[in-house]
Amino acid sequence: MPERIYNFSAGPSTLPEEVLAQAAKDIVNFNNKGMGLIEMSHRSKDFIAVVDECEANLRELMKIPANYKVLFLQGGASTQFAMIPMNLLGEGKTASYLNTGVWAKKAIKEAKLFGNVQVAYTSEDSTFNHVPKDTDYTVDPASEYLYFVTNNTIYGTQFPTMPKNEKMLIADMSSDILSREFDITPFGIVYAGAQKNMGPAGVTVVIIREDLLDRAPENLPTMFKYKTHADNGSMFNTPPCFSIYVVGLVLKWLKKLGGVAAMEKINREKAAILYNAIDATDFYRGHAQPGSRSQMNITFNLPTPELEAQFIKEATAKGMDGLKGHRSVGGCRASIYNAFPKAGVEALVGFMKEFEKKNS
């Protein structure tokens, strides 16, 4: 087997090696029970302990108050695009959205099926190279909530701080949950598909304020009501057991590392190394405007598409995988989520300098 490479993939993405090693053992024999974790009843004592510990650690790490429920759902982050307006909108009701990329746009499309949508801001004209400041938009006073995507995975933009608004906030944090500290109390819902920053694909973590559970219309199918999952501890039906378990391991790893504040510091250091390398030359050009730069996905271009292709090919040969930008923007993208090691960022910067010298 080759040594582990540096995996810059945007998602599913790199996980801590110790988490993978533990999961590999537990798949075969969990808690010395003579059966594997993925063979076990989701109602068994051992598995319920896994879910309870996972939730408790998430609450501790994110400082989630008692009046919020934590749900472990399926259907990916994309199902939330519809589930949110299904539960919170309805005929005649309005919601406001900030259109900062494809994931926001897809959420807008679904919301329009269930109510009125005010697109309060869009950065589409500039290939989504920035996110708005609070003063760049006005939210419809009639809106039920203000929806936004904290980190725009494809374009490498991120809200540097959470928007301040009178309205209840709802955020898709799929690609930066647990990467930095923030105050959850202005939020009604925060959710994230696990496969970028907290585990494998298959589970979506939804954190929802309790009072919102009763807003769903009567005729909404059972599985689409948040209340169903909240009332049943995410066990109304079989939950994505393995994914929840791995998220639990990642949370333990994060706690050991010092929690979200310690992680945030490391993330800022990692991103700064890369942005400094980009800013030091005209050979590399960042896609995101400086005030909107993501700490998680760093997007950049080279002078020509041919050089970009060569760069990605040579980097791959050197054990740096997944640097190709998303097909909708091209160029390169280095995804350096929580579990991505600083040494990998340094290796990439070393290669960037070498490549520039040879090709400029």
**Under the rule (CB under 6 A), what is the footprint of ligand PLP?**
11, 76-78, 103, 149, 153, 172, 174-175, 193, 196
Catalytic hit among 172, 176, 225, 270: 172
Q: CB-wise, 168 or 198, nearer to ligand PLP?
A: 198
* Segments of 138-296 assigned E as strands: 143-149, 151-152, 157-158, 169-172, 187-193, 204-209, 285-286
Q: In the annotation, is 196 catalytic?
A: yes
Minimum gap (Å) between residue 149 Cβ and ligand PLP: 5
- DSSP state letter for 167: S
Q: CB-wise, 26 or 163, nearer to ligand PLP?
A: 163
Q: CB-wise, 153 or 301, nearer to ligand PLP?
A: 153
Minimum gap (Å) between residue 58 Cβ and ligand PLP: 18
Q: In the annotation, is 253 catalytic?
A: no
Rounded Cα distance, 120 and 104, in Å: 12
CB 119 within 8 A of CB 138: no
Nearest Cα neighbor of 54 from 207, 227, 261 is 207
Minimum gap (Å) between residue 103 Cβ and ligand PLP: 4
Nearest Cα neighbor of 150 from 86, 98, 202 is 98
Minimum gap (Å) between residue 187 Cβ and ligand PLP: 16
**Helix, strand, coil fractions of the chain, as percent rounded to 5:** 40, 20, 40
Minimum gap (Å) between residue 78 Cβ and ligand PLP: 3
Q: CB-wise, 57 or 158, nearer to ligand PLP?
A: 158
In this structure, the number of other CB atoms found within 10 A of the CB of residue 21 comes to 11
Q: Which residue is nearest to ligand PLP (CB)?
A: 76
Q: In the annotation, is 103 catalytic?
A: yes
In this structure, the number of other CB atoms found within 10 A of the CB of residue 81 comes to 24
Rounded Cα distance, 156 and 292, in Å: 8
Catalytic hit among 69, 167, 196, 225: 196
Catalytic hit among 69, 103, 167, 324: 103
Q: CB-wise, 167 or 196, nearer to ligand PLP?
A: 196
Which residues are part of the catalytic machinery?
103, 172, 196
